[in-house]
Structure 1
């Protein structure tokens, strides 16, 4: 009889998938065009403005006005899609590619329930999640719990992808920071719209992998209690690109050559250290503890080849009162097999919030 170590099997699946996606010539590596020059310097300044002085931030953000169209409706549910101009300020807008200036959202709601008696969760995109479908499938069964789903298409993804970009392989390091900063601004504006215009009684934000990092940041910065649900997420992009499997899909030599062209001679190890310093801007543990940390539930995988366990535990330590739930699997297998656990975490986190008082 052959005994199979399931944990090792899940870990191997992550590495096989990673080798196929990131070590073959199917698509170029991440950051094949270097660091991003002056855009990177701009973003380093803008991201540092996000923290630690949350109380000093401008709130509410500029109110967005999505233009809605109905995609389909059934007896009990309705799916609409909306388009709105990104609320990013002029500096960020000028840094974004033109294709990303307008955001797209899908909005799945139950019918015959007033928003004040419903919750809505904003779902943010993981790496490579270009469409609405996967996140709508995750949120769809929650309709019976009176939980609506709003799915944001990220900048640089889907119809917002720059012409020269292949798939999810961002061209410059600055694009990763820009994607994150714009996603945070758009998600915060959507939450403000759900609160002030739609009148939902509870709200949350979730995301898988990269989307989970962004969800954690949004939950941290929100001025009122919010259900915050990072799934299969690291505490920082440093972990993903410098420790996990994505390091094999990063154009380290192109990054070194970009620095050499700026008369900065570096070894590859020094280039990796510079990447660590730049991506430390995405460290969620630097962000404030959310207003209700009991409504923060991290779902992590036991044998994740992309996200090591220590990274998840750093998040739990930084936000006392938060909860970590472990599912058996790797990054890829958990993404495919554990939607039930993700949905339960959403329901449980929302249950830990108070209903908003009616303004009537």
Structure 2
């Protein structure tokens, strides 16, 4: 692997000013229950988004939608899910892809800039706002720095459950060529979503890997966590680091089966990534036989500015490879 990109170091240095988990572990009973539960065994409650009237924005039709999150236990401010729908508006989309947000990414503007070319090509995009971010941020939380570990686990569970519910709504609306994608944390959660849904979906896991543990305990993101403070009065940073690793290992993708159609999975890794180790993307690629792994010569942060074509191509190609059942229902126009 090449050395870490300078921009990754600069971003990590700025981010450490806004500490993650500044209020500790959070709801201990919830963390215990999550560790003992078998996740994603039940289908999420059905959702029917309420959509705004479409507006024209840079040549695309844009609608904003809301629905009640199927995940119980979220903070009151996070219970309403917000989603933005980008479409070419030609009535015959080539597919639809749910795009999940990365760590600390609030709002839709970054993903709109990155992936708008796909919408102009005829791929409908559905951009979900993460629980605890942006319009769903709890009172008192500063930006995207979540206050407790349990809030972060709830956010991740909410991302997957809401993506599953939105996929089910799209399928019930008659769409058959469906995908899920994301960058960094969004890529992890997109990959987890693809692994736990019962139908084949395309997946583009961008700058993500098999396990989030090294990201939070070893990589540059760990600079944002005051481990000694997280451990409380004892102040044992090493023990706090170990416990956080055990919690986040519950989302290790090697604990879950591969997606139903792993050859419709495209993984993108950055050779100079200081946040996600390349070994973790290799591990995910090995766990998903038939998936494709692509490398870009960039850092974790710089790739967002220099590799837009590669990120869009991963989503486009994953969708194109998805085998669509001939018995799929005829498409109906979703209610606006």
Residue 355 (structure 1) aligned with residue 331 (structure 2)? no
Does the aligned pair in 2 maintain the 1:232–1:331 contact within 8 Å?
yes
Unaligned 5+ runs, structure 1: 1-6, 51-56
Q: Which residue of 2 aligns with 1:32?
A: 22
Report the structure, 1 or 2, having the larger helix content.
Answer: 1
Using the alignment, how far apart are the partners of 1:301 and 1:247 within structure 2?
A: 19
Structure 1 residue 122 corresponds to structure 2 residue 116: no
- Residue 287 of structure 1 and its aligned partner are, at CA, apart by 1.1
1:206-285 correspondence runs (5 A): 206-257=181-232, 260=233, 265=234, 267-285=236-254
Q: CA deviation at 1:162?
A: 0.8
Shift of 1:42: 2.9
For residues 227 and 205 of structure 1, the distance between their equivalents in structure 2, rounded to whole angstroms, comes to 6
1:326 aligns with 295
| Partner secondary structure for residue 151 of structure 2 | helix
After superposition, give the CA deviation of every residue in 1:287-340 in whole Å (9 maximum; x if it has no partner). 111111101111010010111111111111111111110000111111221110
C-alpha distance in structure 2 between counterparts of 1:359 and 1:16, whole Å? 49
User: Partners of 1:325 and 1:97 in 2: how far apart?
Assistant: 38
Residues 172, 278 of structure 1: CA spacing in aligned structure 2 closer, same or farther, 3 A cutoff? same
1:207-242 per-position Cα deviation (integer Å, ceiling 9, x unaligned): 010001100000111211111111111322212111
Q: CA deviation at 1:71?
A: 4.8
Counterpart Cα distance in 1 of 2:57 and 2:74: 37
Residue number in structure 2 paired with 1:54 = none
Q: Does structure 2 conserve the Cα–Cα contact (< 8 Å) formed by 1:76 and 1:112?
A: no
In structure 1, the partner of 2:36 is 45
Which residue in 1 is equivalent to 2:151? 175
SS of equivalent residue, structure 1 residue 332:
coil
Assess, with a 3 A threshold, how the Cα gap between structure 1 residues 324 and 75 changes in structure 2: closer, same or farther: closer
Q: Which has the larger radius of gyration?
A: 1
Unaligned stretches of 5+ in structure 2? 331-336
Partner Cα separation in structure 1 for residue 90 and residue 54 of structure 2 = 18
- Contact 2:106–2:134 (CA under 8 A) maintained in structure 1: yes
1:155 has 2:139 as partner: no
- Match for residue 106 of structure 1 among 69, 84, 95: 84
User: Match for residue 333 of structure 2?
Assistant: none
Say if 2:87 and 2:120, in contact at 8 Å, map to a contact too: no
Whether 1:70 and 2:70 are equivalent positions in the alignment is no
Instruction: Tell whether the 8 Å contact from 1:219 to 1:228 is kept in structure 2 after alignment.
Output: yes
Q: CA deviation at 1:267?
A: 2.8
Q: 1:292: which partner in 2? A: 261
Deviation at 1:75, TM superposition (A): 10
| Structure 1 range deviating more: 223-232 or 350-359 | 350-359
Counterpart of 1:96 (choices 74, 98, 109) is: 74
TM-score, normalised to structure 2, is 0.92
Q: How big is the shift at 1:266?
A: 6.7
Q: Structure 1, residues 47-66: CA drift from partner, whole Å, max 9, x if none?
A: x333xxxxxx334x322111
Distance 1:304 1:76, change over 3 A: closer
CA contact (8 A) 1:113 1:146 kept: no
Counterpart in the other structure of 2:9: 15
Cα separation, partners in 2 of 1:74 and 1:276, compared to 1, 3 Å: closer
The TM-score normalised by the length of structure 1 is: 0.86
